[in-house]
Structure 1
Amino acid sequence: MRLSDLGDKEIVNLANGSRHGQLADAELLFDESQGKIKAILVPDYHGRMSFLGSKDYLQLPWNSIRKIGEDIIIFESSEI
């Protein structure tokens, strides 16, 4: 699977069913020394805007991803 194939997938928390937008709206956080994805940074639309209107982000650790399906990415986190 290519990174471009992931963009339209909805991000959903398995723990509580909350939706966190599409991966195309998110950022990826990389470990430069190992070349691995550390986390997905998802815009926090439910929180308040920070200074000068910039968005806050929720950090979803890559190891919390449980399944990448055809239309959805499921992660599990009780903290969010």
Structure 2
Amino acid sequence: MIRISEFQVKDVVNVADGRRLGHIGDIDIDVATGKIQAVIIMKQGRMLGLFGKEEELVVPWKQIVKIGEDVILVRVQQTEFSQEEIQTTTFS
């Protein structure tokens, strides 16, 4: 079993291009089945999010390739980084 807090400290890396995407900020769970549907990766803006904004990238569970001790490998194609896929949230 793995805890959500253990997910949040792991780096998320895209195996399609080797880029570090960020850290998991949240998960999407289907309450009917109890299964994880997606992970939400927080990509920080300038100055640790204090003066910028954080962006979220939603990665469906089926795109997770491997969960290791220090890293989570995902397969996200370049086209999936389009503006429609990235949700922008501003924290105040």
Q: Which TM class, normalised by the smaller chain length?
A: 0.7 to 0.9
Q: State how many pairs are aligned.
A: 72
Q: Is the 8 A contact 2:15 2:73 kept in 1?
A: yes
Q: What CA distance in whole angstroms lies between the structure 1 residues aligned with 2:53 and 2:76?
A: 25
Q: What CA distance in whole angstroms lies between the structure 2 residues aligned with 1:5 and 1:44?
A: 18
User: For structure 1, which runs of at least 5 residues remain unmatched after alignment?
Assistant: 47-52
CA RMSD for the aligned pairs?
Answer: 1.9
User: For structure 2, which runs of at least 5 residues remain unmatched after alignment?
Assistant: 46-51, 82-92
Amino-acid identity (%):
36
1:7 paired residue number: 8
Quick one: higher RCO (CA 8 Å, sep 6+), 1 or 2?
A: 1
Q: Under a length normalisation based on structure 1, what TM-score does the superposition of the two structures give? A: 0.75
What is the 5 A alignment of 1:1-80?
A: 1-3=1-3, 4-23=5-24, 26-45=25-44, 55-78=54-77, 79-80=80-81
